[in-house]
Amino acid sequence: MTIVSTKEMLLDAQKRKYAVPAFNIHNLETIRIVVEAAQELKSPVILAVTPSTVEYAGAEYLIAIARVAALKHSIPIALHLDHFNDIKLIKKYIDLGFSSAMIDASHDPFEENIKKTKEIVEYAKNLGVTVEAELGRLVGQEDDLVVEEKDSVFTNPTMALEFAERTNIDSLAVAIGTAHGLYKSEPKLDFDRLSQIKEKVSIPLVLHGASGVPVESIGKSIELGICKVNIATELKIPFADGVKKFFQKNPDASDPRKYLSAGMLPMKEVVMEKIKMCKSEGKVS
């Protein structure tokens, strides 16, 4: 297969009431872990990269690795720009081969958010690339993006309808009480708000900040319209822990093939757990 957009996979998830997992990846090892786990469980998957990941690994390298992964496996794989707000960069990376893009202008006033989002939608649609946008702001930190608690804003259902209609986006990221990073206590999600948004908005809805959210809450979110779930922090921790344990046992080790492999297995276990949490297991025939 080739890299695909998120459009068909999210519409299928919406129809069949599951969510497509979007895993933040950083390099060859993390891409392999995510894709191999998704293949084993017959799940569609989204490889998500933040601006700092592209800066670290290089857009061309990431695209090439994702293309090889798509050719080797039989599941739908999308390569997604996550939380990008630089319009020029989004267009540049779309031209290079990314199949999906999130324009995050949620920090801007409502009208400015619409203006920037529309510009990306008009550019991307001509190239068969799907566009996600965000209305509301999640507290916490996603790489270099930091939102203080006092600046967090929940998504307004009425404004969500207007936003979706005026921008013609393919999916909408909503703020209902999740946060980027790990939680200090169990998050309390606003399911009533999510239900109201679902009643008004027909396009697939996206949940960011899912690391650490209880499985039951994710399940209820999916029942209420969430079709894509983003996971980042919960993948980094087991990978890092695996590498640390390797060096504790092998302090003089220097072969990256060995110490990076030590991080891959524990991360893969988490990826498989999250695929099952999203109810996307077995959705690819």
Would you name the residues annotated as active-site residues?
82
- In contact, 114 and 166? CB cutoff 8 Å: yes
Is 55 a known ligand-binding residue?
no
Distance linking the first and last C-alpha atoms of the chain: 14
240, 183, 236, 235: which is closest to 214 by C-alpha?
Answer: 183
77 is in an annotated binding site: no
Per the annotation, does 263 bind a ligand?
Answer: no
181 is in an annotated binding site: yes
Spatial contact of 265 and 242, defined as CB atoms under 8 Å apart = yes
Q: Is 190 left (phi over 0), alpha (psi -120 to 50) or beta?
A: beta
Whether 210 has a binding-site annotation, put simply, is yes
What is the sign, positive or negative, of the torsion defined by CA atoms of 248, 253, 258, 259? positive
- Non-local (6+) Cβ contacts of 184 within 8 A are none
Is 180 annotated to bind a ligand? Reply is: yes
Q: Is 134 annotated as a binding residue?
A: yes
Q: Is 217 annotated as a binding residue?
A: no
- State yes or no: 208 annotated in a binding site: yes
231 labeled binding residue: yes
Sequence-ordered list of residues with C-beta below 8 angstroms from that of 85, at least 6 positions apart, any chain: 103, 104, 105, 107, 116
| 26 among annotated binding-site residues | no
Alpha carbons 115 and 189: distance in angstroms, whole number: 29
Query: Which segments are annotated as binding site for Zn(2+)?
Result: 83, 104, 134, 180, 208
